[in-house]
C-alpha cells in the first residue's frame, strides 16, 4: 500500500500585513511622540519623547504558551532597542545595539500572557531606524513540540561562522543572501562557552535560523542557513520543519588533533582527540531529549584543510582511510544517511612549501564521491562538492571564503544533499 498522505507544512504567517510591516499602513502604530515614518519609509526614533516605545497593535492577541519570533531591519546609531510583546504582561527582551541584532526569539515559556501589541522600546539615548517588522507564531514549527527533519552541518571552520569576510567583527546585513524562513531552526554547538548572548544562543537549545548561525562565538557568515534553504521545501513536503545541528569547529580535523576521530586519545595543547565526535553524540542526545520524533536525514561535512601534509593521502593509516572510517562510524553511531563533503578549495595549496599537498588532497577527496568510479574509495550515498573558484578570502595560505562564498558553498552542498535525498 502507498504511504499515508502528508499535508505539506506551510510557513507560519506574518502577524502583520505586508503594508503594516513596510509602514505604508501605519494605522496600527502608536508613535508616542517619539517615532515617525521618515522620508525613506522607515520607522525612525525622533527622541522627542525620549524612551517611549512605538506600540504596534496586533490583529489578534497572542496565544500564551507558544513560541514567537520578531525580525526587522535595524539601523541603530546610538543606544539600544528592545523588541517585546506587551499589554498584558511584557515578554523578555535583549538590548539590541548593532545592525546584526535584528531579531528577538521568545520561547513558549516566556509567552505567559495574551499580549495585544509589539513594543519597540528604545533607551533614552537611542537613535536609529527600523523597517520591515515581521512577527511569527512558531507553534507549528517549534522543534520542542513538532517533529523535524534534522541535518548535520559540521567539520572545520568552513562549516561554521568563525571566518568569512572580515567586516570588523561582524557581517553586514546586506551580506545575507538567504531569506528568513520560520520553518528552519538550528541547534548551536558553542562547545567552548555554552552561551553567546549576541545571537541569543545557548548550547544545544534550538532557535530559529538566521545568520550569523552561532556554531562558535563569532559574528561572521556560515553556510548553514544556505544549506538548509535548499532543503526546507523537501522537508515541508514531508510535513516537517528542518532543524540543523550546527557542528562546525575551527581547526578541527581527522589528523593531528583528531577532533573527529572516534575514540581518539590524542592530546595537544589541550585535550583534542575525539572532542568533536563526542560533541556530535552529545548534540544528538540533546535533540532526542527534546521529545518529538526528530529524524536525522542527512549530513554535510567540511574537512581536510587542517590535515594537509606532504605525502600520499591514500596510503594505509592516512587521511582517506580516516575519512572512510569516519563516515562508517557516523552511519553506525548517529544515523545511516546520505552525506556530502565540501572538498578543500581549488585555491588552497600553501606557498610556504609549494609541494602540491593541497592539490593532492583535493584529488584524493574527489575519489570518495559515489560517482568517482574508484573501486577502492568511492562511498555509497556520498557526494563531494568542490567549492567554486573566485570566492576565496585572500590567497593560497588561507583556506577560507568570503561571505558570498560561504553561502554559495552552502547552496551547492544543499543541492547535492537534496539530489541524494530525492
In this structure, is residue 175 part of a structural domain?
Answer: yes
Residues 6+ positions from 375 with CB-CB distance below 8 Å? none
Q: Looking at residue 271, what is its pLDDT?
A: 64
DSSP string for 335-372: ----EEEEPPPTT---TTT-SSHHHHHHHHHHTTSTTS
- Tens digits of residue pLDDT in 128-164: 999 999 999 999 999 999 999 999 999 999 999 988 7
Rounded to the nearest 10 degrees, what angle do helices 357-366 and 319-333 cross at?
Answer: 40
In a domain? residue 173: yes
Q: What percent of the chain has pLDDT over 70?
A: 95
285-293 mean pLDDT? 98
* Whether residue 249 is found in the same domain as residue 334: yes
* The pLDDT of residue 369 is above 90: yes
Domain presence at residue 1: no
- pLDDT at site 269: 62
- Look at 167-176, 210-219, 364-373 and tell me which has the smallest mean pLDDT: 167-176
Cα separation of 410 and 402, whole Å? 12
Tell me the pLDDT tens digit for each residue of 339-362: 999 999 998 875 555 578 899 999
* Domain final residue pick, 102, 137, 172: 137
Residues 132, 161 share a domain: no
pTM listed for this prediction: 0.95
Mean residue pLDDT across the chain: 93
**Tell me, what CATH number does 212's domain have?**
3.40.50.1110
What's the confidence (pLDDT) of residue 89? 97
Of the candidates 319, 302, 406, 401, the one whose C-alpha atom is nearest the C-alpha of residue 357 is: 319
Q: Give 90-125 pLDDT, tens digit per residue.
A: 999 999 998 889 999 999 999 999 999 999 999 999
What value, to the nearest 5°, has the Cα angle with vertex 189 and ends 184 and 190?
125
CATH code of 90's domain: 2.60.120.260
Give the residue-averaged pLDDT of 51-62: 97
pLDDT digits (tens, 9 = 90+) for 185-229: 999 999 999 999 989 999 999 999 999 999 999 889 999 999 999
Give the pLDDT of residue 1: 44
Say whether pLDDT at 78 is over 60: yes
Asked if residue 263 has pLDDT above 50, the reply is yes
Q: In the predicted model, what is the mean pLDDT of residues 376-405?
A: 91
Containing structural domain, residue 63: 18-137
- Asked whether residue 99 falls in the same domain as residue 244, the answer is no
Share of the chain above pLDDT 90, in %: 83
pLDDT for res 4:
55
Residue 5 belongs to a domain? no
pLDDT score at 316: 94
Confidence band for 80, pLDDT divided at 50, 70 and 90: very high
Q: How much is the pLDDT for 398? A: 87
Domain end: 137, 169, 204, which one?
Answer: 137
Q: Are 368 and 283 found together in one domain?
A: yes
Task: Tell me if 190 is assigned to some domain.
Answer: yes
Task: Name the residue with higher pLDDT: 168 or 51.
Answer: 51
Is position 2 within any domain? Answer: no
- Residue 221 has what pLDDT? 93
Q: How many domains does the chain have?
A: 2
User: Following DSSP, what letter does each residue of 180-244 receive, concatenated?
Assistant: --TTEEEE---TTTSEEGGGTEETT--EE--SSP-SSS--S--SHHHHHHHHHHHHHHTT--EEE
Domain end: 137, 161, 187, which one?
Answer: 137
- 37: helix, strand or coil: strand
Amino acid at each position: 500500500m502507498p504511504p499515508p498522505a502528508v499535508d505539506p507544512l506551510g510557513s507560519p504567517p506574518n502577524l502583520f500585513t505586508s503594508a503594516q510591516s513596510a509602514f505604508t499602513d501605519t494605522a496600527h502604530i502608536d508613535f508616542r511622540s517619539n517615532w515617525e515614518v521618515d522620508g525613506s519609509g522607515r520607522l525612525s526614533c525622533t527622541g522627542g519623547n525620549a524612551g517611549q516605545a512605538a506600540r504596534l497593535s496586533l490583529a489578534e492577541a497572542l496565544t500564551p504558551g507558544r513560541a514567537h519570533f520578531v525580525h526587522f531591519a535595524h539601523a541603530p546609531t546610538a543606544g539600544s532597542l528592545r523588541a517585546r510583546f506587551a499589554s498584558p504582561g511584557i515578554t523578555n527582551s535583549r538590548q539590541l545595539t548593532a545592525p546584526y541584532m535584528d531579531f528577538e526569539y521568545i520561547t513558549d515559556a516566556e509567552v505567559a500572557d495574551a499580549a495585544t501589541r509589539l513594543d519597540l522600546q528604545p533607551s533614552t539615548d537611542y537613535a536609529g531606524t527600523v523597517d520591515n517588522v515581521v512577527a511569527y507564531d512558531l507553534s507549528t514549527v517549534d522543534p520542542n513540540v513538532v517533529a523535524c527533519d534534522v541535518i548535520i552541518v559540521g567539520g572545520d571552520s568552513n562549516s561554521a561562522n568563525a571566518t568569512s569576510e572580515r567586516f570588523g567583527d561582524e557581517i553586514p546585513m546586506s551580506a545575507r543572501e538567504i531569506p528568513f524562513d520560520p520553518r528552519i531552526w538550528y541547534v548551536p554547538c558553542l562547545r567552548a562557552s555554552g552561551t553567546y548572548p549576541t545571537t541569543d544562543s545557548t548550547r544545544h537549545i534550538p532557535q530559529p535560523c538566521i545568520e550569523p548561525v552561532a556554531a562558535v562565538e563569532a559574528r561572521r557568515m556560515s553556510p548553514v542557513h544556505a544549506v538548509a534553504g535548499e532543503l526546507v521545501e523537501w522537508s515541508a513536503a514531508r510535513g516537517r520543519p528542518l532543524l540543523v545541528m550546527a557542528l562546525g569547529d575551527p581547526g578541527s580535523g581527522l589528523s593531528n588533533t583528531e577532533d573527529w576521530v572516534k575514540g581518539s586519545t590524542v592530546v595537544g595543547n589541550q585535550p583534542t582527540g575525539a572532542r568533536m565526535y563526542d560533541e556530535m553524540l552529545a548534540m544528538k542526545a540533546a535533540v532526542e531529549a527534546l521529545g518529538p520524533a526528530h529524524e536525522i536525514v542527512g549530513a554535510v561535512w567540511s574537512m581536510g584543510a587542517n590535515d594537509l601534509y606532504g605525502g600520499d593521502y591514500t596510503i594505509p593509516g592516512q587521511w582517506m582511510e580516516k575519512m572512510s572510517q569516519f563516515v562508517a562510524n557516523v552511519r553506525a553511531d548517529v544515523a545511516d544517511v546520505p552525506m556530502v563533503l565540501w572538498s578543500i578549495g581549488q585555491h588552497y595549496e600553501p606557498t610556504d612549501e609549494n609541494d602540491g599537498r593541497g592539490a593532492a588532497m583535493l584529488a584524493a577527496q574527489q575519489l570518495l564521491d559515489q560517482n568517482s568510479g574508484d573501486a577502492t574509495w568511492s562511498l555509497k550515498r556520498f557526494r563531494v562538492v568542490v567549492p567554486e573558484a573566485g570566492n576565496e578570502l585572500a590567497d593560497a595560505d588561507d583556506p577560507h571564503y568570503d561571505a558570498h562564498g560561504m553561502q554559495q558553498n552552502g547552496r551547492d552542498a544543499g543541492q547535492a544533499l537534496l539530489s541524494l535525498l530525492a
